[in-house]
Chain A
Amino acid sequence: MIVSEIISEAEYADIIITLMKSPYKISSITKLVFIAFCVKHESNLYAYHNRTKDFVDVFFSNISLKFSIHYQEIGQIIHTIDMLNKSSKVLIDGDYIELKYDFDFQTENKFLKFCITKIPNPIIQINKLDAKAVVEEVLRYV
């Protein structure tokens, strides 16, 4: 595995664990996979300050080109979930996923740090969609 992949997986581990922790507590693998991808690739924070578009639109439209280029990162996300599963840090039942271990760390991800300070929190708003709605949104931009 090349260094860039290891770094990318480490970034995803940070994002995934943060998304499974409070206040998000995302419990669907489907949602976790796509939201983690969008979080890592979100760079246009300005769009969240200037609310001319819905959070959901801003969040998913951002992946439009990135998904076509970095699709192999979905594999990295799954690999990270698999590592957490095999090391019994999460409980998985079908699409359900729950964190079983208390990871004591603060996220380094810029977007997640931004979301914590933002009211309403964009990710909490996006998490209100069910898994199927998330896939529907992804299909608009993939």
Chain B
Amino acid sequence: MFKLESLLFNNRDDSQKYQFSKHTFIYGMNTVGKTALTKAIDYVLGSSENLTYQGLDNIDSIEAYLTNNLTTLWVKRTISGEYFYRRTEDSAYSEISADTYKDNICLMLTPNPNNHFVQVYSKVFDENPTFRSFNFLNYMEEKGLGDLSVVFTKARELKYQIRVSNIMDFFFNYNNIEQIYEKELLLEQREKELDELTKDYQEYERSLLQIQKLFRELQLKYTGNYEKDYSTFKKFQTSYTRTAQTKSKDLVYLSKASFSLAEEIKLYSFIQSQANNMVERKERIKRLLAILNSIVEGNHDYKQYIDFITKTVEEIQEENIILSLTDYQKAIRGIQTEKGKIDQQIMMLKGQASEITYEDAVKKIGLIEHIFSILNRNVDYTRLDSLRGETSKLKREIKELKSAFDKKEISAFNNRLTNLYLKSDLKVKHLIEDLHDTDFTLEFDPFRLCLFASHKTEEGVERFIPGSMARQTHLQMLIYLCMFDYLKRDFQDFIYMPLLIIDSANQPMGIEIFREVYPTIVNLAEEIGIQTIFLSKDHLDGISDQDFIDISSGLNKFHKQS
């Protein structure tokens, strides 16, 4: 199991070592460097921030000794930002990149990291997570203690907000997320195939339009039937004979007819939209009358106030005569077809009116020949349609899965949290109060990262934010541990660091309550398999020497007092 064994501050040839046990208790009054120690640990474990915290001056580098049941790792990070590691105590440090440094630490967390989780996370959230992504679980900072509106103190920082929300979605909605992952993989494959087919299809469609235009220009009759059109083309290729000009309708007459039909379409479209408006208006009148009637039905006294409005609405309703029920759509379609035919004739006449040189004709023949070769290719329409259907179905399903949410996981988490809290058998005031409350339950909302409690009152179930700093800090510590417990059970071999550093939790709780609560938190952490480091301004009795570190005289012996 992963453990942070020791931490070393180096200054030239001198060093200062802190040895950690499974549950270390660090004692020190204000401004001796408790928070500085958390910053130093975070730094050596790969934080992206520089080590500029007050009290950590005159340190050249920080080393950490990490172990798990199988292997050991020494990591070192200089203040100027270089990364080193070594596998055995006697070997020399090798310089490595930041990524390799983090990868090495990551390998210490679990011998067989479950890459599937990481792949799912990367695919769905478009971000490659490392153990650093989950380090908001490792620190309960002094700033933010007892704040149940943002339970994880690091999540108060802007840079963590979006990530933490994604992570919580991932942890508590994993079943859906995994399905989203599978579907996104399938969608990617199908879209690739569709893309290939679409290219062919688009070329085919473009060629169809182009050949129609070329046929028109050469006054060849285009039928849409490949065989017939090809034979028409072949005949022309040997004879070069264009159809004689028709004498039927001249260009001017046809242009006028087309224009007049276009005007007619505009008029009919306008009338149609007016008719639609009338139908909608009738619906609106009906809706308003229904609202007014429902108010009067609710209380007949209101009739006197509503009467005038109802009469006015009814008056407006009668004033409007329903327009003719002609099927405008049908008429518009008919005119459009007619106009299409005339436009076709106009194009044909324009083509006949123009002269084509021999060179032009030869070029067009070459082009048509090329287009026929494209049209001759088989585009798999059935596959194209099925791929289009499948991709849009997959997209729809992914969207639905993203919005659907399985609350089972959250409710199991909250049951566990409530049980751990209520059954901790502590004789502290806030817990005794909550035990006497009817149906007291805790509700952690992982997406808003806040904690509510609920209880039964005479008026029903009431939801509230629990009060008192002691209670709030106690609950906050339990949520951190419950999260680790949840990960241990549901995300085995996932890359999170089983370490919880709590800075000054004694202060908001008060020493009396803290003395009671501390052993239960340590026992729970032991049960879950989490290493803890408590930093406290109060001294606690009964802590063994190996678990106790006193930094009352200052954390950093190289620090120069200003």
Q: Chain A residues in contact with chain B, CB under 8 A?
A: 29-30, 33, 68, 71, 74-75, 78-79, 81-82, 92, 94-95, 131-132, 135-136, 138-140, 142
A135 contacts which chain B residues (CB < 8 A)? 309, 312-313, 316
Measured in the bound complex, the distance between the Cα atoms of B284 and A84 in whole Å is 30
Residue of A nearest to B311 (CB): A95
Complex: how many Å from CA A135 to CA B316?
A: 9
B306 within 8 A of A: yes
Q: Report yes or no: B295 in contact with A92, Cβ–Cβ below 8 A.
A: no
Given known A-B contacts A139-B281, A142-B287, A78 and B312 have beta carbons under 8 A apart: no
Q: Which A residues touch B285, using CB under 8 A?
A: 139
Q: Which residue of A lies closest to B296 (CB)?
A: A78
Q: Taking A81-B305, A92-B305, A131-B308 as contacts, is the C-beta distance between A74 and B295 under 8 angstroms?
A: yes
A78/B315 contact (C-beta < 8 A), A135-B309, A139-B288 known: no
Q: In the docked arrangement, what's the CA distance between A81 and B291, Å?
A: 17
Give the Cβ gap from B219 to chain A, nearest Cβ, in Å: 53
**Interface residues of chain B: helix, strand, loop or mixed (majority):** helix
Contacts of A68 in B (CB 8 A): 287
**Least distance between A93 CB and chain B CB atoms (Å):** 10
**Chain B, range 271-303, C-beta contacts under 8 Å to A:** 281, 284-285, 287-288, 291-292, 294-295, 298-299, 301-302
Residues of chain B with a CB closer than 8 A to A79's CB: 299, 302
Q: A74-B292, A142-B288 are in contact. Are A136 and B309 (CB under 8 A)?
A: no
Residues 502 to 529 of chain B near chain A (Cβ within 8 Å): none
Q: Is there an interface contact between A142 and B312, defined as CB atoms closer than 8 Å? A: no
Contacts of B312 in A (CB 8 A): 30, 131-132, 135
- When the two chains form their complex, are residues A136 and B316 in contact, meaning their CB atoms are under 8 A apart? yes
Interface residues of B (CB under 8 A from A): 281, 284-285, 287-288, 291-292, 294-295, 298-299, 301-302, 304-309, 312-313, 315-316
The residues of B that contact A33 with a CB separation of less than 8 Å are 305, 309
How far apart are B476's CB and chain A's nearest CB, in angstroms?
A: 30
Nearest to A132 among chain B residues (CB) is: B312
Which of chain B's residues have a CB closer than 8 A to the CB of A81? Answer: 305
Partner of B309, one of A29, A75, A142: A29
CB of B446, distance to nearest CB on chain A (Å): 28
Known A75-B295, A135-B313, A136-B316; judge A30-B308 contact (CB<8 A): yes
* Nearest CB in chain B to that of A75: its residue: B295
**Interfacial chain B residues near A140, Cβ < 8 Å:** 284
B286 to chain A: closest CB distance in Å?
10
Asked if B302 contacts A78 (CB within 8 A), the reply is yes
Q: How far is the CA of A138 from the CA of B301 in the complex (A)?
A: 24
Nearest A residue to B291, CB-CB: A71
CB distance from B36 to the nearest CB of A (A): 49
Given contacts A95-B308, A142-B287, 12 further A-B contacts (CB under 8 A): A79-B299, A79-B302, A81-B305, A82-B299, A82-B302, A92-B304, A92-B305, A94-B308, A131-B308, A132-B316, A140-B284, A142-B288
Shortest CB-to-CB span from B112 to chain A, Å, is 54
| 16 pairs from A and B in contact (CB 8 Å cutoff) | A29-B305, A30-B308, A33-B305, A74-B292, A78-B305, A81-B305, A131-B312, A132-B312, A135-B309, A135-B312, A135-B316, A138-B288, A139-B284, A140-B284, A142-B284, A142-B288
